[in-house]
């Protein structure tokens, strides 16, 4: 890992689907350990942006670099390393329906750390489940869970491998206040660990004290990109609406 490059760098990203341009000539970089919040309305391109970083979607053109390595031109060992270092938290948890919660949470550990002792993996997962008061759902399948439980389990699955970059889509949507407090505490811990966090939301809300930087998305472009204190003085009507400044 070289300090000569940003931790994450996207250059001239274009993405189209269904005859619509979702991201247009988008270039943006993220420093290691930064906590960034992407704000934008529905259809602004923010979730697609996260999925391109996470390798879930691929741009029509442009490049994604992690520590200076082009993710689409990486060697097999580099690609495997990149996949371990980047995790994605889906808005709905995205648990596999035919697996129990424990089996879902074992998937990334088994994939990235095949040589680790299985009992150690189960113990690690149990510690997270206990931390989130989810021990009673360990052997349940997703259909038996509440939306908040699915989201919390999906969050655990993303962070259990201790990734360097965590991408989160709408972390506080459809969760109760107790779960909101748990997620915010975990986000604070990620920040303290110098994990690079990029999350999408429709409003800044409870993330204001955590985030170093806000990116305002509209129609697949970045309208503004600045620390929260600076954006509070913005005269852009989209920014003002998203930050509830009027």
Nearest residue to 28 (alpha-carbon basis) of 13, 18, 47: 13
Cβ 46 vs Cβ 38: under 8 Å: yes
Rounded CA-CA distance 209/108 in Å is 30
Tokens 């923010």 -> residue: 46
At residue 9, the 3 state secondary structure works out as: strand
Pairing of strands 61-66, 8-17: antiparallel
Q: What local confidence, expressed as pLDDT, does residue 92 receive?
A: 81
**Alpha-carbon 145 to chain mean position:** 22
Query: Cα dist. 92→10, 111, 234 in Å?
Result: 26, 22, 33
Summarised one tens digit per residue, pLDDT across range 186-223 is 999 999 999 999 999 988 988 999 999 999 999 999 99
pTM of the model as a whole: 0.91
Q: What local confidence, expressed as pLDDT, does residue 1 receive?
A: 45
CA 184-139-125 angle, to 5 degrees, is 45
Q: What local confidence, expressed as pLDDT, does residue 2 receive?
A: 46
CB atoms within 10 A of CB 171: 24
The structural domains of the chain, with segments of one domain joined by +, span 8-242
What is the chain's mean pLDDT, rounded?
Answer: 90
Rounded CA-CA distance 184/214 in Å is 17
Rounded CA-CA distance 213/222 in Å is 13
Q: What local confidence, expressed as pLDDT, does residue 3 receive?
A: 55
pLDDT > 90 in the chain, percent = 69
- Output the CATH code of domain 8-242: 3.40.50.300
Sequence-ordered alpha helix ranges (H) in the chain: 46-53, 76-85, 101-112, 118-131, 147-159, 177-192, 228-231, 237-242
Q: What local confidence, expressed as pLDDT, does residue 167 receive?
A: 96
Residue 107 structure tokens: 């998937």
Cβ 97 vs Cβ 141: under 8 Å: yes
Query: Cα dist. 7→70, 74, 85, 144, 175 in Å?
Result: 12, 16, 11, 39, 31
Where the chain has pLDDT below 70, the residues are 1-4
Virtual torsion, Cα 57, 174, 205, 131, nearest 10 deg: -90
């Amino acid at each position: 890992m070289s300090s000569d490059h940003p931790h994450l760098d996207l250059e001239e990203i274009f993405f189209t689907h269904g005859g619509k341009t979702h991201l247009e000539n988008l270039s943006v970089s993220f420093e290691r350990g930064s906590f960034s919040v992407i704000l934008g309305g529905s259809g602004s391109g923010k979730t697609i942006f996260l999925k391109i970083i996470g390798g879930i979607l691929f741009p029509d053109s442009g490049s994604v670099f992690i520590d200076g390595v082009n993710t689409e031109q990486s060697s097999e060992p580099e690609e495997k390393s990149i996949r371990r270092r980047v995790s994605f938290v889906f808005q709905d948890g995205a648990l596999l329906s035919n697996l129990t919660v424990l089996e879902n949470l074992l998937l990334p550990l088994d994939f990235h750390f095949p040589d680790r002792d299985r009992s150690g993996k189960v113990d690690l997962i149990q510690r997270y489940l206990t931390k989130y008061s989810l021990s009673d759902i360990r052997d349940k399948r997703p259909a038996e869970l509440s939306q908040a439980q699915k989201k919390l389990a999906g969050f655990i699955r993303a962070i259990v491998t201790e990734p360097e970059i965590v991408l989160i889509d709408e972390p506080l949507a459809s969760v109760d206040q107790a779960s909101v407090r748990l997620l915010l505490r975990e986000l604070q811990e990620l920040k303290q660990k110098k994990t690079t966090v990029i999350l999408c939301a429709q409003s800044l809300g409870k993330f204001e004290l955590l985030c170093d930087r806000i990116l305002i998305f509209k129609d697949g472009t970045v309208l503004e990109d600045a620390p929260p204190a600076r954006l509070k003085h913005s005269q852009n009507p989209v920014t003002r609406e998203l930050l509830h400044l009027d």
